[in-house]
Structure formats: structure tokens, C-alpha cells
Amino acid sequence: MAGNDGNSLIAWLPELLYTGGRFERGQALVCDSGIIVRLARVDELKDEKRIRLSNRAILPGMVNAHSHAFQRVLRGRTEHRTSNRQDSFWTWREMMYSAATRLTPEDIYDASRLAFLEMVLNGITAVGEFHYLQHAPDSTPYDDSNLLAKEVVRAAGDVGVRIALLRVAYARSGFQSEPNPRQSRFIEKDPPTYLKNLESLISDLGRGSDPTATAWVGVAPHSIRAVPLDYLCEVITYANQHDLKVHMHVAEQPAEVSACVEEYRRTPIALLETEGLLSERFTAVHAIHVTPKAIPSFAKRGAMVCACPTTERNLGDGVVPADEYLKHNVPICLGTDSHAQIDLLEDARELEYHLRLQKLERAVLDKQLQVSSSKSQVGELGRLATQLFDCATINGARSIGSPDGSLEPGKAADFFTIDLNDPSVAGASTVDLLSSIVFSASRAAVREVVVGGKPIVSEGQHLIQEEIVERFNDLQKKLWS
Ligand SMILES: [Zn+2]
């Protein structure tokens, strides 16, 4: 490789660089072919090509661990009462289905591109796409059973964001419930059909073991409601044998928990635990309605939780008991889920803020850190922000198997910059900058985004932003007028 003579080495020279939980001055990020090869002091550089970023802090790209990209078409269209009874997650879901049943493959591409564009403009460099639209609107399988998954992957590739396509297994409406015709685009009735289609997608995209991978596959049994136990066991066994990540909606709504208890005489977590389905590969999305007693099973098995606070507040789901998870050292990652808003730093701060509202107390998660963490070399001003930023970066990367999430040798060169003169963070010192970013940065402060060493956002603009927005405007007109 050309790295030996230094010709292909690129040194990014920001004012501040975030690594090892702190901001460093006078450090360069040296990359080769999209991979970080070392961090070096500026005076140690030789003949690397230098790219100076004045008044900028470089931070590792954020990882959005839970997305349904097509749901971006619903934004602004569900914030009203639809029934005389209480509106809820379930009434919202009917509105979501009415959009989901109408989208063509090209529509899904256009909606996904807009969602991914918004993500990268926020500093997100990798996404876990929980993908459940498989068939044509009339429920006929396409000639290529992965056509829609590939449209989403194509959209990610065109925007430049890495993607874990978490292919959903979906078998039924729920325990003893009538089939809902609006779910027919999602359903693959038996494990052999699902696994055949999954394998075909893996042979196209891969499993993501390579640090330069831009798209790879994971498995996503939709929920205990939608996947009966024998199906679930077969899918997760396959994932474990083939070293694939497993994502699943767990305990988002109380009704889902009571249906599980009715069917299996166990709560969702107890069911997953006793059937041996939790592991280090497993991420439980939401995991809101859980008892404190259930949380140690996550810790015991090394499973993770993905919180989606902006969606959870939008849907009235409830509050993720992040304090309880932290108490047991269960890692939490973050997702923008329904895309009511796409701003992963907002999700990071809401993880803490929701607990403040619930407990009438400040710095709730910091209290957990004071108790549980002696490892941190970060001062008290940055301790909570560091933890929340880890949720948005390192933990997300682990959850979806992405090669980024931190700025260290061997990782992908995925990062974003913050303009230190942006009014939302101006005046911060290296000690309180991360807290300013996590709790207060506006999206306008994100100026450059680089994925695999390649700039995809410059001066706050994506290279093909106008075209993506124009096509999406047309799609929304077609769908809603
Ligand atoms: Zn979801």
C-alpha cells in the first residue's frame, strides 16, 4: 500500500481533537485509505498531505443505532388527535401503516436518502436500519426479495453514510390477534423463507467484518408480539452461528408486555433470558417497561439497550430507565427511530433530561457515574457529557458492528467537526466543551463530516443536498396532496 512512502497519508489538523474522553490541542489525525493510522503531534508530521481545520474541533462520527428511514415521510403529519379516545403509539402506528402501504421502491429510496442526508448533516456517520418493508404494496414478493432493502442501502451509499441493514423477521400481528392486512408487506411466514432471503442479502452485502465495509447485514426479529418463540429461536440461533448482530424491539409499550405474559407466562426480558436468547450480539430497542429485577439479565449476558428518547417522547412510550441500566453497567446506545426529529445529540441529552423530569432531580445519570466509575479521567464538568457522548458513538458502533465510533488507530476515519465560534458553543474551554456540545450544540455548529476519509459534508452542506431535497419535496407532494 502507498502508505509506506507517505504519499497517500492525510493529516487532518483541527484546533481541538476529541480522543480518549478529552479534547487535545496540537494533535493531527493521520489517515490512510480511509483508516486512522495514528494520532500525531503536529511537529511530528512528515510529508503527509495536510488539511487544516481552523476554529474546528474534530469528534468521532456518531452512530444512529435505530432507524426506520421511510418513516421520515410522516414528519408533521401525525401530531394531531385522530380518535375520540386517547391517541397513542397504536393510533400513530395506523397512520404509519397508511404511509408504509403506499411507497414504491423509488419512494423508499427518496425518503431514505432524505433521512440519511439529515443524519450526516448532524454528524452521524453510521446507521442501523431496522428494515421491515419487504414486499410490494399488494403483498406479492418482488422478483428480488431484497429489492427494498437494496433501495435503502443504495440511498445510504449515495449519501455516504455507513449502514447496517438489520433485516426484520415479521410473522404475525400478535398473540391471538387477527391478521392486519396493512402488515402484509412485512410478513415472511416461516423461518426458512426469512433465512433464505437473509442469506441472499448477506451474499450481496456481507457481514461487516472488514473495517472498510460500508454496508452489512444484521438480523432483527421485529418484536415478541410479531415473532412467535420457535421462529425467534431459529433466527437468533442462525445469527449466533454466523456472528450477526441481533436487534429487537423490546418492551416499548405496556400492552406488548402484558400480551407476552399472557402468551408465555413470562415478561419479554424473562422470556429472552430463560430461552438463552440474550448475548453480546443482542440489542434491545427501547426496553422501557422493564422491572429493575430484569435488568441484571442484560448485564449478565452482555446485551445492550438502544434508547430512542425523541421518538419515545413523541409516541408517549415512556422513559428508558437509563439510571438502572447504568447502575448495572448495561451499555446504552441511541437511535432516532421514527425521525420525528433527527438529532442524535438531542437523543443523548434527553436520556438524562427525561429522568430529571421524572425524578424532579438534576444530573441523575452523573450520580450513577460518581458511584460506579473510577475509570474516568474526565473532570466532573465533562463526566456526564462523556457518558452520553459514548452512547452516541462507541456504544452505537458496538451495537451495529460499525468500524467507527472513536478516533484511534485501526478505526475508520469517520468524524465530524464543530465550529468553535458557533454561538451555541462559543466561549467553551476544553474542560466544558463536550458538555456544551452534548447539551447545547445546534446543528448549525456541525460543519464538516468525513466518512472513510472522504468529506461528504463541507461548510454544513452535503455534496448533493439540493437534488435529494428536491426529490423528497416531490415525493411528499405525491403522497399527501
Ligand atoms: Zn423502531
| pLDDT tens column, 228-255 | 999 999 999 999 999 999 999 999 999 9
CA of 399 to the centre of ligand 1 (A): 15
CA of 423 to the centre of ligand 1 (A): 34
pLDDT exceeds cutoff 80 at 410: yes
CA distance 215 to 163: 5
CA of 130 to the centre of ligand 1 (A): 7
Q: What is the mean pLDDT of the chain?
A: 94
pLDDT exceeds cutoff 60 at 1: no
Q: Residue 407's closest CA among 15, 27, 46?
A: 27
**What is the model's pLDDT at position 7?**
65
CA of 131 to the centre of ligand 1 (A): 9
CA distance 124 to 462: 13
CA of 100 to the centre of ligand 1 (A): 14
**What is the model's pLDDT at position 445?**
98
* Cβ neighbours for 360, distance < 8 A, ≥ 6 positions apart: none
Neighbours of ion ligand 1 (CB under 5 A): 337
CA distance 204 to 215: 10
CA of 305 to the centre of ligand 1 (A): 13
- Assess whether 337 carries a catalytic annotation: yes
CA distance 164 to 95: 26
CA of 306 to the centre of ligand 1 (A): 10
CA distance 329 to 452: 31
CA distance 363 to 232: 38
CA distance 227 to 184: 14
**What is the model's pLDDT at position 373?**
52
> For the ranges 80-89, 116-125, 307-316, 434-443, which has the lowest average pLDDT?
80-89
pLDDT exceeds cutoff 90 at 210: no
User: Which is the catalytic residue, given 32, 107, 337, 419?
Assistant: 337
**What is the model's pLDDT at position 377?**
58
pLDDT exceeds cutoff 60 at 470: yes
Name the pairing type of β-strands 282-286 and 246-250. parallel
Listed in order, strand segments (DSSP E) in 132-240 are 162-169, 215-221
What is the distance, to the nearest Å, from the Cα of residue 239 to the centroid of all Cα atoms in its chain? 19
CA of 30 to the centre of ligand 1 (A): 37
Largest CA distance in the chain: 71
CA of 316 to the centre of ligand 1 (A): 14
CA of 336 to the centre of ligand 1 (A): 9
Q: Are 321 and 290 in contact (CB under 8 A)?
A: yes
Indicate the pLDDT class of residue 367, thresholds 50, 70 and 90: confident
User: Which is the catalytic residue, given 131, 249, 286, 354?
Assistant: 286
Indicate the pLDDT class of residue 87, thresholds 50, 70 and 90: confident
Is 0.85 topped by the overall pTM?
yes
pLDDT exceeds cutoff 70 at 438: yes
Helical (H) or strand (E) element with 10: strand 9-19
**What is the model's pLDDT at position 2?**
42
Indicate the pLDDT class of residue 320, thresholds 50, 70 and 90: very high
> For the ranges 37-41, 71-75, 92-96, 433-437, which has the lowest average pLDDT?
92-96
CA of 51 to the centre of ligand 1 (A): 39
pLDDT exceeds cutoff 70 at 322: yes
The C-alpha angle with vertex 425 and arms to 119 and 113, in degrees rounded to 5, equals: 10
pLDDT exceeds cutoff 70 at 82: yes
Q: Provide the grid cell at 120.
A: 450526516
CA of 314 to the centre of ligand 1 (A): 13
User: In a 3-state reduction of DSSP, which class is residue 307?
Assistant: strand
Q: How far, CA to CA in Å, does 178 sit from each of 89, 181, 253?
A: 19, 9, 19
- 163-203 pLDDT per residue, tens: 999 999 999 988 888 878 888 899 999 999 999 999 999 99
CA of 5 to the centre of ligand 1 (A): 47
Q: Are 15 and 57 in contact (CB under 8 A)?
A: yes
User: In a 3-state reduction of DSSP, which class is residue 394?
Assistant: helix
**What is the model's pLDDT at position 481?**
87
Mean predicted confidence (pLDDT) in 341-355:
98
- Assess whether 43 carries a catalytic annotation: no
> For the ranges 133-137, 306-310, 443-447, which has the lowest average pLDDT?
133-137
The number of residues in the chain equals 481
- 133-153 pLDDT per residue, tens: 999 988 899 999 999 999 999
Q: How far, CA to CA in Å, does 165 sit from each of 25, 119, 131, 161, 211?
A: 37, 16, 7, 12, 16
Indicate the pLDDT class of residue 303, thresholds 50, 70 and 90: very high
